[in-house]
Amino acid sequence: MRGQPKRVDIIPAKRRVLILEHLKANGAASIQELAEVIGGSQSTTRRDLEHLMEAGYLERTHGGALLVPPMRATFEGESSLNAQMRREQKQAIGIEAAERLSPHDSVIFDSSSTVLEAVRAAARRLLPLTVVTNSLEIALFSASVPQWRVLMPGGTVRPGSTMLTGDTGSDFLKLVHTDVCFTGAFAVTGGLLTDATIEVASLKRAMMKSARRRILLVDSTKFRPPAFCTFSELSEIDEVITDDGIRPEHLAVLRTFELKVTVVPAA
């Protein structure tokens, strides 16, 4: 009816992140409980649960759902969900990372969601930069910053993502020598940095070799069992920036390496 406010539902990605965060905190939950968490109907909740189950995030139980731990080594997750999860922590890490940049630096930004937050924070500083990225999303954003020159290495767009991979990009990266590389990781396990796919790991490896300084940006949930393919060791990293949710034992391992460790409080 005219005059009544229309109910605006939150987007599916945000609903599903709320479900995953609730299950992570509680282990399991009923459909009714999850419907209350997302502020939606039980039918909407069932559809979200089916989607998350098919994507490999959880298992359905009688009348509810259960988070799947640990995830498969080749599990990548959906980029739309990855971008929304741990958003405050990623923003805090990105703000800190942007402070590492100086005017006229050349910088490689990989396609991870935490690195994207560093790009946004760097843009607010209005520094003149030369930006190299394999992310279409980061490239489009960076092109809107007048002080930035943007280069893309080329390659093939991975299905379901805005990321370029392939030999074309790796060959290009062999020709450039940048000041700094910001990279994320699917998992940090002891001294290993891993990703779920060989293609992504290969390009990350090439990015790191092209930079004088290598800074790893990972939120505290990334300290977990390894993913499918190693792309680097912590001994090759100059600094790790993470959030204060990191467990003491993981922080202790980081401090055994000759690198700078920066822990930032989440907003």
Q: What is the CATH number for 62?
A: 1.10.10.10
* Identity of the amino acid at 141: F
For 1-51, the pLDDT digits (tens) are: 344 333 334 578 788 888 878 877 777 788 888 888 888 888 888 888 888
Whether residue 245 sits in one domain with residue 176 = yes
- Who's near 32: CB < 8 A, 6+ residues apart? 42
pLDDT of residue 73: 54
pLDDT of residue 265: 95
What are the tokens at 231?
A: 């792309």
For 111-167, the pLDDT digits (tens) are: 999 999 999 999 999 999 999 999 999 999 999 999 999 999 999 998 878 899 999
Given a cut of 50, whether residue 95 has pLDDT beyond it is yes
Whether residue 233 sits in one domain with residue 198 = yes
CB atoms within 10 A of CB 54: 8
Domain of 136: which CATH number? 3.40.50.1360
Whether residue 93 sits in one domain with residue 164 = yes
Whether residue 27 sits in one domain with residue 130 = no
pLDDT of residue 167: 93
pLDDT of residue 8: 38
CB atoms within 10 A of CB 32: 12
CB of 17 closer than 8 Å to CB of 81: yes
For the chain, the C-alpha Rg in angstroms (whole number) is 20
Tally the domains of the chain.
Answer: 2
- Who's near 73: CB < 8 A, 6+ residues apart? 196, 225, 226, 227, 228
* Identity of the amino acid at 31: I
End-to-end CA distance of the chain: 40
CB of 29 closer than 8 Å to CB of 22: yes
User: In this prediction, what percent of the chain has a pLDDT beyond 70?
Assistant: 88
Mean pLDDT of 75-82: 62
Whether residue 86 sits in one domain with residue 23 = no
Q: Can you give the residue range of the structural domain that contains 248?
A: 80-264
pLDDT of residue 68: 64
Q: List phi, psi (to 5°) of 244.
A: -75, 10
Judge whether 75 lies within some domain. no
pLDDT of residue 86: 80
**pLDDT interval class at 248 (50, 70, 90):** very high
- Who's near 233: CB < 8 A, 6+ residues apart? 191, 192, 193
Whether residue 233 sits in one domain with residue 209 = yes
Whole-structure pTM value: 0.77
Whether residue 33 sits in one domain with residue 97 = no
Whether residue 189 sits in one domain with residue 60 = no
